[in-house]
Structure 1
Amino acid sequence: MNPYKFFIPVIQFLIDIFIIIYLFFRFLKFQYETQGDKWNLLLLFENHHKALLLFIVSWYFISEKTGLYKIKNSNNFELIRKIFIQVIFYALIVFAISGLKSKYLFNNNITFLYNITVLISITLIHILADLYQKQKFSRAVFIDTNNNTNNIIKHFVHGKKIRNFGEFVKFPQKKGQYKYDFNQLNLFIKNHNIQILVFSLNGALSKEVEDTIIKFSDSKYMIYIIPDLSYEFYKNSSLNYFETLPIYLYRRKLNLFNKLFKRIFDITLSLIFIIFILSWLLPIIALIIKLTSKGPIIYKQERMGLHSKPFKIMKFRSMYTDAEYSGPKLASDSDPRITSIGKIMRKYRIDEFPQFINVLKGEMSIVGPRPERKYFIDKISKLDPNYKKLHKVKPGITSIGQVYFGYAENVEEMAQRLKYDLLYLQNENFFFDLKIIYLTLVVMIQGKGK
C-alpha cells in the first residue's frame, strides 16, 4: 500500500486553504482599488486577518460535514456535488461576515465573484488531483465471488483495471468449489501486494467472510463490503430497547420535501423535453415507423405502478404487430420480432421518449425502478419476494438497474437487476437521481441499450 496515501487529504486541504487565502487577498486588493483606497499587503492583513481566520476555520468545519477530504473512491459527479455543497455553505458565511463588519470586507458584487472563483478553482484542482491519483492503480482482490459480486465486476472492470480500484486480482479457487483457507488468502494477499479487499456478505462463504473481516479490521488494507439484501431492512430500521433487550423498529423513511421537489423536477423536465425535443422528433419517428412496418406509432401496454396500481405505459412501437400472439415474452438480442428501426430506437433508448407523457400524468417518474407487467412480476416474486418493495415508489423512465444491468431477457436476469433497484430505494434522493440521469445519457450516446 502507498504509505503516503493517507497524507493526500491533508495535502489537498492545505492546497485549498492556499487558494482561499490567495483569492482572499486578490479580491481585497480589487476592493480597495475600486474604492480608491491605498493598500499594501501588511495593511490588508492587519485590517482583515480575523475575518480570514474565520473563513479558514469555517471551511474546515464545513468539510467535516460534507466529507470533502475523506479517503474515498468516488466519481467526478460525487466529487463536484461535495464541492458544490461545501462552497454554498462557505459562501453564506462569507456574505454574513462581510455584511456584519462596520466597514465592508467585500461588497456584495465582489463577495459573489470571490465565491464563484473559489468554486471554479477548487473544483478544477480536485478533479485534476483525482485524475492523477487514479493513474496510480491499486491492486484489489474480491473474496467470495458470486452472482452479486460478478455483476459489480462486470460493470466496473475495463480490461485489467477496475474503476476506482485498479488492477483486478482474483483469488484462486476451483470452479464450483468453495474451499476456504484464511492462511492461504493471507499469503496470497502478501505475495501479490494487495492493497484493497472487497468482501461479499451475500455469498456461499458468509460466515468465513465475516470472520475474515474481523481479522483484517485492524490491518493496513482498505476494506470494502458488498452488503447482503437484508441491509435494506436494517437501513430503514431504528434501534430501540425493550428493557435491556435491543430490538429493531422497521419503518420506511419518508422525505416529503424530497418527494415534492422530485415531482416539480419531473414536471419541469418533462415539459422542456416534450416542447423542445418530442414536438419535432415525433413526426420524424412516426413517418419512419409507418414506412418500415404496419401498425400504430405509439404502443401502449399495461404495467404495474405505484402501490401496484396498473397504468398504460407509452412507447414508440419497436416490434411488429402481434409480436406476443403466443403470450408474454421478454425481448432479447437479435429478436426477430423487433423491426429494423426498432433496433436503432432500443439501442439509443429512443423508444422510451413518449413516457415523458406518463410522467406528466403522474403515472411515472423520470428516475425509478422500471415498471413490469403483472405476468412477470408474479414470476419474479416467486424467485425473490423483495421485488414487491419496488412498488413503494413510482416507476421511472430510467433506473440504476437500467444503467448498470440493462434490459433483462428472462426472469432470472430480472432477479439480478432487482439488486440494483433495491439499492435505489436505499439511496433515493435528488442528487442520486441526477447521477442516474447523467449515466443514462452516457448509455444513450454510446448506444449501449438493447
Structure 2
Amino acid sequence: MIKELKILEIFTLLIFNVLLYNNIYIIIINTMAIYLGMYSFKIFEEDIGATPSEIIIRYLFGFITASFMIFLISLFSAQLLQNYNLLKIFISSFISIPVLHLLFFKYERKYIKPLRYVVYGKKNYYKNILEEITKKSRGNIVFIGYIETLEELEFYNNNVNYDRLLIANPYISDKMKKYIEKRNIKKEYITSIAERFLKRIPLKIMYSFEEYYKIYFSEKEEPKLKRVIDILFSVVLLIIFSPVMLLISIVILLESGFPLVFRQKRFGKNQMPFEMIKFRTMDKKGKILKSGKLIRKTRVDEVLQFINVIKGDMSIVGPRPEIEKFHNQMLRNINYYEIRYQTKPGITGWAQIYYKYTQSLEDYKRKTEYDLYYIKNRSIMLDLQIMLKTVETMFFHKGQ
C-alpha cells in the first residue's frame, strides 16, 4: 500500500501546485522537489514508534530540504526565481501531505484486507523473519500456512482462500513449477519481500538463496558518478565546517594539547588497510575529554574523514570501516562479511541510519545484514537518501 500512497502523494502535490501556480514548468519542478524532500525523511512511512515532536521535525526537515532544492534550481531560471515562494511551498508540504497521510492510514487500517500468503518452506525456519515482516507491514501481510510438497499446495489451492505463494525454498520441483504456472498462482520470493519490508538481507535467507545472491553481488557495479559526488560534497562540507573545525582544534589544544588528530588503522575496499582520521576526543590515558563528550555526541569528530574521502580511502556513504581487531573477528565469525569490502567504507551508511550501536556478535551480524542490503541495492539515489537521513539520525541521536 505504500506504493499506492506514494502515487497518491505525487498526485495530491501536483493538484496543490496547480492551484498555487499557473505555469506547468514551475508546477512540475516544485512537485518533484517537495516529494523528494519529504521522501528523504520517511514522511511516506507510518512509523508507529515515532513521537509527535519527531514527526513534526521530519516534516520540517523535509520542508527545508525541498525549499533548498527549489531555490538551487531557481538560480538557473529567472522565471522560477521570480515565483519562489516559501509560503506556497509550506502549504504544499505541511498541509496536503499530513492530511492525506492521516486519512490514508485510517482507511488502510479499517477497510483494506491483508494479503494472505501460503509459504513454501519449513514451518519454523523463517518464523521470526516472517513475524517481523507482518509487523513491519502493519498487518497488511499475513502468513496463513506452510507447504513442503505439491500435494499440500494442491490442497491449499482447492480448499483455502489465499492471495499469493511465498517461495522460501529455492529448490522447487519441475512438477510444482508447472502446477504454479498452469494455475496462474501469484508467487513472490522471500528474498524480495524481506528486503522490501526489513530493509536488510537476513543472513539466514542469504544462506538459503546463496547462488542467487552470489550472481547478483558479482555483477553489481559501483555507480559511475559516486566518486565525483564524493569529491564535490567533501570539498564543500570541509569549507562549510572549517570554522567548526578551527573551534574544535582550539578547544582540544587548550584542554589537552597536541596531537589534535587521532589516526587509526581501518580496512577499506578489497580489505586494503588505510589510516582513518578524526578529531581526538580522549587523553593519553584513554579518558574522554570534557569537550570530547560534546564532540562525540554531535559527531563532528568525524568531519576530518572527508579528507579520507578526497584521498580515495573512503566514500561519504558505505559500510563503516572497523578497527583491525573487529575486522579479523567478524571475518572469522560472520558468513558473507567479506562482501562488505566490495565497496569503499563510508562516513555514514545504511546500517548507521537503521540500526543501533554494535556491541555484540549478534549486533554485528544484524549490522552486516543492513550492509549487504546497501551493497546489493547501492545507487546514487540511495546514497543521497542516506545522506539526508543521516541529518535526521544525528538530530535524534539514533544509529551508530
Distance in 2, Cα, partners of 1:349 & 1:152: 35
Alpha-carbon spacing, 1:12–1:404, altered in 2? closer, same or farther (3 Å): closer
Aligned to 2:318: 368
Q: SS at the partner of 2:276?
A: strand
The Cα offsets for residues 349-368 of structure 1, whole Å up to 9 and x where unpaired, read as 34433323323433222221
- The structure that has the greater radius of gyration is 1
Aligned to 2:105: 134
The one-letter amino acid paired with 2:245 is L
Q: CA contact under 8 A between 1:267 and 1:359: conserved in structure 2?
A: no
* Runs of at least 5 residues in structure 2 that lack an aligned partner in the other structure: 46-58, 196-204
1:258 to 212, 219, 226: 226
Aligned to 2:42: 75
The CA RMSD measured in Å over matched residues stands at: 5.7
Q: SS at the partner of 1:406?
A: coil
Tell which has more relative contact order, 1 or 2 (C-alpha 8 A, sep 6+): 2
Q: SS at the partner of 1:394?
A: coil
Once the two structures are TM-superposed, the CA of residue 419 in structure 1 deviates from its matched residue by 1.5
Distance in 2, Cα, partners of 1:151 & 1:316: 43
Query: Normalization by structure 2: what TM-score?
Result: 0.58
Alpha-carbon spacing, 1:148–1:445, altered in 2? closer, same or farther (3 Å): farther
Q: CA contact under 8 A between 1:23 and 1:114: conserved in structure 2?
A: no
Q: SS at the partner of 1:277?
A: helix
Q: CA contact under 8 A between 2:5 and 2:104: conserved in structure 1?
A: no
Distance in 2, Cα, partners of 1:399 & 1:310: 19
Aligned to 1:246: none
Distance in 2, Cα, partners of 1:132 & 1:271: 44
Alpha-carbon spacing, 1:352–1:171, altered in 2? closer, same or farther (3 Å): same
Distance in 1, Cα, partners of 2:285 & 2:165: 47
Distance in 2, Cα, partners of 1:216 & 1:319: 64
Confirm or deny that 1:306 pairs with 2:306. Answer: no
1:391 to 335, 341, 351: 341
Q: CA contact under 8 A between 2:354 and 2:399: conserved in structure 1?
A: no
Q: SS at the partner of 2:193?
A: strand
Once the two structures are TM-superposed, the CA of residue 443 in structure 1 deviates from its matched residue by 2.5
Q: Which piece of structure 1 moves more, 115-124 or 343-352?
A: 115-124
The Cα offsets for residues 168-187 of structure 1, whole Å up to 9 and x where unpaired, read as 999799xxxx999999x99x
Distance in 2, Cα, partners of 1:322 & 1:216: 68
Confirm or deny that 1:282 pairs with 2:249. Answer: yes
Q: SS at the partner of 2:336?
A: helix
Distance in 1, Cα, partners of 2:348 & 2:362: 20
Q: CA contact under 8 A between 1:140 and 1:198: conserved in structure 2?
A: no
Confirm or deny that 1:429 pairs with 2:379. Answer: yes
The one-letter amino acid paired with 1:166 is R
Once the two structures are superposed, the pairs formed by residues 166-245 of structure 1 within 5 Å of their partners are 166=138, 201=168, 218=186, 225-227=193-195, 228-229=205-206, 230=210, 232-235=213-216
The one-letter amino acid paired with 2:392 is V
Distance in 2, Cα, partners of 1:115 & 1:146: 56
Q: CA contact under 8 A between 2:351 and 2:399: conserved in structure 1?
A: no
The Cα offsets for residues 152-194 of structure 1, whole Å up to 9 and x where unpaired, read as 95xx99xxx75xx335999799xxxx999999x99xx99xxx9
Q: CA contact under 8 A between 2:230 and 2:316: conserved in structure 1?
A: no
Distance in 2, Cα, partners of 1:198 & 1:348: 47
Q: CA contact under 8 A between 2:353 and 2:398: conserved in structure 1?
A: no
1:404 to 347, 354, 358: 354
The one-letter amino acid paired with 2:231 is R
Once the two structures are TM-superposed, the CA of residue 225 in structure 1 deviates from its matched residue by 0.9
Q: SS at the partner of 2:367?
A: helix
Q: SS at the partner of 1:226?
A: helix
Alpha-carbon spacing, 1:254–1:361, altered in 2? closer, same or farther (3 Å): closer
The one-letter amino acid paired with 1:282 is S
Distance in 2, Cα, partners of 1:252 & 1:316: 35
Alpha-carbon spacing, 1:147–1:371, altered in 2? closer, same or farther (3 Å): farther
The one-letter amino acid paired with 2:267 is M
Distance in 2, Cα, partners of 1:314 & 1:397: 11
* Larger helix proportion of the pair: 2
The one-letter amino acid paired with 2:319 is P
Aligned to 1:357: 307
The one-letter amino acid paired with 1:225 is I
Q: CA contact under 8 A between 1:304 and 1:373: conserved in structure 2?
A: yes
Confirm or deny that 1:316 pairs with 2:279. Answer: yes
Once the two structures are TM-superposed, the CA of residue 283 in structure 1 deviates from its matched residue by 2.0
Once the two structures are TM-superposed, the CA of residue 304 in structure 1 deviates from its matched residue by 1.2
Once the two structures are TM-superposed, the CA of residue 408 in structure 1 deviates from its matched residue by 1.9
* Runs of at least 5 residues in structure 1 that lack an aligned partner in the other structure: 28-51, 92-107, 237-249, 324-336
Query: Normalization by structure 1: what TM-score?
Result: 0.53
Once the two structures are superposed, the pairs formed by residues 17-166 of structure 1 within 5 Å of their partners are 26=22, 75-76=42-43, 110=79, 125-126=96-97, 128-135=99-106, 136-137=108-109, 153=132, 162=136, 165-166=137-138
Distance in 2, Cα, partners of 1:115 & 1:372: 45
Q: SS at the partner of 2:325?
A: helix
The one-letter amino acid paired with 1:261 is I
Alpha-carbon spacing, 1:129–1:251, altered in 2? closer, same or farther (3 Å): same
Distance in 1, Cα, partners of 2:225 & 2:326: 33
Q: CA contact under 8 A between 1:349 and 1:449: conserved in structure 2?
A: no
The Cα offsets for residues 409-445 of structure 1, whole Å up to 9 and x where unpaired, read as 2344323211111222223233322222232222222
The one-letter amino acid paired with 1:129 is L
Aligned to 2:239: 271
Q: CA contact under 8 A between 1:369 and 1:395: conserved in structure 2?
A: yes
Q: CA contact under 8 A between 1:347 and 1:449: conserved in structure 2?
A: no
The one-letter amino acid paired with 2:138 is G
Q: CA contact under 8 A between 2:252 and 2:291: conserved in structure 1?
A: no
